[in-house]
Chain A
Amino acid sequence: MKVLVAVKRVIDYNVKPRVKMDGTGVDLTNVKMSMNPFDEIAVEEAIRLKEKGVATEIVVVSIGPAKAQETLRTALAMGADRAVHVTTDEEVEPLGVAKLLAKIADEEQPQLIILGKQAIDDDNNATGQMLAALLGWPQGTFASKLDPSDGEVSVTREVDGGLETDKLKLPAVITTDLRLNEPRYASLPNIMKAKSKPLATKTPDELGVDISRRLETLKVTEPPKRQAGDKVGSVDELVGKLKALGVVA
């Protein structure tokens, strides 16, 4: 079966984001950018499905500016077969992204669409669920285990109370959680090979999707800072402090 994977180029997860002085957003000039970590897990899962002989082709999609192609090349170097780049310099919201991906799903007819559960920049955790709704497909969110067989996929989900297992009829949308797998690094030969893999470009207009924003960001500020307190020198002192706070009798 064909698997579609959506990836986003975001600030590298090791970089501490800095809020711009003018309060318009987070400063991304000269900041290291990488594939969203949850999306890397999505790409890895698709590749493992292909290695198991379950997936036949992996198509990776990214929506964003020209540099999003670097992220797509990374996915191709990991093992995806071809890429689709939807070019836009707008910051597209999850609803817009879901609409674009739904159009691409109409064209590509995948059996499985795998996405990260959230992007680590805007932290919305919404695109996968929205895409499933637009397509009328079932959704397996926050997946830590996938087991497709016979027109169905069994999904183990990381929920607040433990691990929930659901069975979904294919086609389905999956969003990944951290423990689904550990993504591989692309090897140098594969990075070279990825340069010649097919990469198609489209625009939101060509796909007939209105991506205008529904939310306006009025300002972005730093969160309130906590002040460091005192260090104590011994367990006895700590117990004394805890008693003073009324934590223990």
Chain B
Amino acid sequence: MKTLVYVEHEGGQIKDATLAAVTAASKLGEVHALVAGSNVGAIADAATKIAGIGKVHVADGAHLDHGLAENVAPVAAKLMESHDAFVAPATTTGKNIAPRVAALLDVMQISEILSVEDENTFTRPIYAGNAIATVRTGDAKKVLTVRGTAFEKAAREGGSGSVENVDVGGDSGSSSFVGLEASKSDRPELTSAKVIVSGGRAFGSSEQFHSLLDPLADKLGAAVGASRAAVDAGYAPNDYQVGQTGKIVAPEVYIAIGISGAIQHLAGMKDSKVIVAINKDEEAPIFQVADIGLVGDLFKIVPELTEKL
């Protein structure tokens, strides 16, 4: 089987989620990649070095900048004439493009796969991760998105793929990129961080959220996350949100502070290697999944912890 992995990139870098998609694709067969964008020569070169990638199809055109789905999907659909499976990371970029490709191919997408059982059979989470479905597709071509935390990342070095320029299609004229209000941070990105400290509504205000959590995160070299309740209350920006409807993370250590552990939050972090919970309510559901728990007042514990680390 020939697969086509959608290479997600930003600021000249290939995103980690792509590497997990490469690993998933390699379980199906030969791995090709699609690099789409504007002036993406260097990214295409970097993609050829990813272990396991045979050929990199490059679609370089101004209208493909920012990965507009209206322009990228037809390019991918065209390439699928000579590939059997389109594989995209289950990031907001992948989730935006892949279903559009699937509909153009008249294929039912298989979303957020957790494993490849055989070339037609996959597992995927449903009901916010409260159940795992094993599904088999009857479609001749496949369109998959891949949950990044469920697959090892392919090595960025060691590959020796070739590059081929492909038809870049045209500008649909129906959509245009206006701007990105990037969340600026010197900390690691949530989805690739080794350690995450995450805060909930118990922080009480945006000021307290940041004045308590930021120094702790800095001490640990950690990314900062938040529960949906904290985001909805305006304590943290939306892209901090960990959970079924936010980001799915699986760091080495996840420290949940003042987070009760709603189903939808647990769905986003329960695959973390070690979970630490700090909460004043000893009955909080978060303790049922935590490896290490500490019951107490976060306003006392967090400063003390930061100082003692």
Q: Does B19 contact A (CB under 8 A)?
A: no
Q: Does B42 contact A (CB under 8 A)?
A: no
| Contact code string A166-198 (vs B, CB < 8 Å = 1, else 0) | 111100100001110000000000000000000
| Contact code string B93-135 (vs A, CB < 8 Å = 1, else 0) | 1011111111110111111100000000100011111111111
CB distance from B219 to the nearest CB of A (A): 8
Counting chain B CB atoms within 10 Å of each CB, the highest count among A134, A144, A242 belongs to A242
Q: Are B308 and A216 in contact (CB under 8 A)?
A: no
Q: Are A130 and B102 in contact (CB under 8 A)?
A: yes
Q: Which of A133, A144, A166, A236 contacts B177 (CB 8 A)?
A: A166
Q: Which of A94, A123, A138, A247 contacts B244 (CB 8 A)?
A: A123
A–B pairs, 9, beta carbons within 8 Å: A123-B111, A123-B127, A127-B99, A158-B92, A162-B180, A230-B291, A231-B282, A235-B305, A245-B274
Q: Are A238 and B305 in contact (CB under 8 A)?
A: yes
Looking at the complex, which of A54-62, A63-71, A79-87, A219-227 is the stretch in contact with chain B?
Answer: A219-227
Q: Which of B68, B107, B139, B237 contacts A166 (CB 8 A)?
A: B68
Q: Does B53 contact A (CB under 8 A)?
A: no
Q: Provided the pairs A133-B104, A161-B182 are in contact, do residues A231 and B295 lie with their beta carbons within 8 angstroms?
A: yes
CB distance from B281 to the nearest CB of A (A): 13
Q: Which residues of B contact A93 (CB under 8 A)?
A: 108
Q: Are B182 and A239 in contact (CB under 8 A)?
A: no
Q: Does A26 contact B (CB under 8 A)?
A: yes
Q: Which residues of A contact B100 (CB under 8 A)?
A: 129-130, 132-133, 139
Q: Which residues of B contact A222 (CB under 8 A)?
A: 130-132
Q: Provided the pairs A217-B135, A247-B195 are in contact, do residues A164 and B180 lie with their beta carbons within 8 angstroms?
A: yes
Q: Are A178 and B70 in contact (CB under 8 A)?
A: no
Q: Which of B131, B228, B294 contacts A17 (CB 8 A)?
A: B131
Q: Are B108 and A232 in contact (CB under 8 A)?
A: no
| Chain B residue at minimum C-beta to C-beta distance from A246 | B252
Q: Are A242 and B253 in contact (CB under 8 A)?
A: yes
Q: Which residues of B contact A120 (CB under 8 A)?
A: 127-128, 244
Q: Are A123 and B180 in contact (CB under 8 A)?
A: no
Q: Are A247 and B109 in contact (CB under 8 A)?
A: no
Q: Provided the pairs A167-B176, A242-B309 are in contact, do residues A223 and B125 lie with their beta carbons within 8 angstroms?
A: yes
Classify the secondary structure of A's interface with B: mixed
Q: Which residues of B contact A166 (CB under 8 A)?
A: 68, 175-178
Q: Are B126 and A220 in contact (CB under 8 A)?
A: yes
Q: Does B82 contact A (CB under 8 A)?
A: no
Q: Which residues of A contact B138 (CB under 8 A)?
A: 214-216
CB distance from A124 to the nearest CB of B (A): 5
CB distance from B21 to the nearest CB of A (A): 14
Q: Which residues of B contact A144 (CB under 8 A)?
A: 238
Binding site for B on A (CB under 8 A): 11, 13, 16-17, 19, 26, 93-95, 98, 118, 120-134, 137-139, 141-142, 144, 154, 157-169, 172, 177-179, 213-223, 226, 228-239, 241-242, 245, 247-248
Q: Which residues of A contact B244 (CB under 8 A)?
A: 120, 123
Q: Are A122 and B126 in contact (CB under 8 A)?
A: yes
Q: Provided the pairs A161-B10, A161-B180, A216-B136 are in contact, do residues A247 and B252 lie with their beta carbons within 8 angstroms?
A: yes
| Chain B residue at minimum C-beta to C-beta distance from A223 | B132
Q: Are A230 and B288 in contact (CB under 8 A)?
A: no
Q: Which residues of B contact A242 (CB under 8 A)?
A: 253, 276, 309
Q: Which residues of B contact A215 (CB under 8 A)?
A: 108, 110, 135-138
* C-alpha spacing A133/B172, complex, angstroms: 12
Q: Which residues of B contact A19 (CB under 8 A)?
A: 130-131
| Chain B residue at minimum C-beta to C-beta distance from A13 | B264
| Chain A residue at minimum C-beta to C-beta distance from B239 | A162
Q: Are A138 and B125 in contact (CB under 8 A)?
A: no
* C-alpha spacing A172/B69, complex, angstroms: 13
Q: Are A162 and B136 in contact (CB under 8 A)?
A: no
Q: Which of A26, A134, A236 contacts B127 (CB 8 A)?
A: A26
Q: List B217-276 residues whose CB lies under 8 Å from chain A.
A: 219-220, 228, 231-232, 237-239, 244-245, 247, 252-253, 263-264, 270, 274-276
Q: Are B111 and A137 in contact (CB under 8 A)?
A: no
| Chain B residue at minimum C-beta to C-beta distance from A130 | B103
